[in-house]
Chain A
Amino acid sequence: MKSSVIIFPGSNCDRDMDVALKKFGFKNQMVWHNDKEIPKSDLIVLPGGFSYGDYLRCGSIAAKSKIIKSVINFAKSGGLVLGICNGFQILTETGLLPGILQQNKYLNFICKNVFVKINNNENKYFKNIKKNILELHIAHNEGNYFCSDDELKLIEDNDQIAVTYCNKDGLENNDINPNGAIKNIAGIFNKQKNILGMMPHPERMIDKYLSGEDGSIFFENLFGNLK
């Protein structure tokens, strides 16, 4: 299985993602934002960070970068595209995913572990996953997912909500919502479920001594589903 991680100026989770993908079996390659072509891949990852300094709006400049046309073509032909954190913001700015990530409701940069519940297993990312609630790390200033009421209805009707913030028992409510995201949304799919954007960082949870292993569960499962 081949994966590609796109590096934008200001990406800072690209190398963690590279380590994570390789640890769980992917042959990963790094792709620079100024390239036009992406090498043959089974999965493209847009990593976290602050692409182009988060200027204008988070992800907005990356969404117009040279490489992004190839990402869009790959996604539209059914290829798997995973956007984590800033990668999720980029996916919404390209229009591949609906809605937008706004500034956190209480204006604070949030950096902590959270629990998220997997809402939909009928896709390559979460099919057969052995845990339904994962403990992952978030670190963001703009993670407050927002979309119009009409868009939200479409998202719900098409089962596009991927993961939601919850407590360790799976309870979702306002107290657990870290950033004000509507419906506690931490990640969403496109309609076809080949594109996943989420704020939590599974690549930070792949070492049982340093962090936790719920990220390992995610990558192991994803690799297994693609084999």
Chain B
Amino acid sequence: MKIKVIVTLKNGVLDPQGKAIQQTLNGMNFSNIKEVRQGKFFEINVNEKDQIKAKSQVEEICKKLLANLVIEDYKIL
């Protein structure tokens, strides 16, 4: 079963890469782009048929490794 996860910076945490992308877009005449926040996307193939079990395992993985909860939030899709 494939489980998808998005890890993003928490609101308010400085995202210099997102800021650089936004400024580049503005320079490319996409002048209505007010903010860009960059994150990470994971596709995890779990050898497990039970979706609830697989998701709870991925949740543990997010907390223990994929996201640093000091600055990041995770979302299991």
Contacts and interface: CB of A to CB of B under 8 A. Distances in A.
A153 interface: no
Contacts, number: 35
A146 B13 contact: yes
A60 B64 CA distance: 10
B71 A103 contact: no
Identify whether the interface residues of B are mostly helix, strand, loop, or mixed. Answer: helix
Contact of A146 (B20, B65, B66, B70): B70
Given A107-B16, A107-B17, A107-B20, A100 B65 contact: no
A102 B65 contact: no
Contacts of A147: 70
A60 B71 contact: no
A109 interface: no
A104 interface: yes
A60 B72 CA distance: 13
Nearest to B67: A57
Given A146-B70, A147-B70, A148-B70, A103 B65 contact: no
Nearest to B9: A102
Contact of A104 (B16, B64, B65, B70): B16
8 contacts: A98-B70, A102-B13, A102-B14, A102-B71, A103-B16, A146-B71, A148-B70, A180-B14
Interface of A: 56-57, 60, 64, 92-93, 98-100, 102-107, 144, 146-148, 151, 180
Which are the 10 A-B pairs with shortest beta-carbon distances?
A100-B70, A107-B16, A103-B16, A100-B71, A100-B68, A57-B68, A107-B20, A105-B16, A99-B70, A146-B71
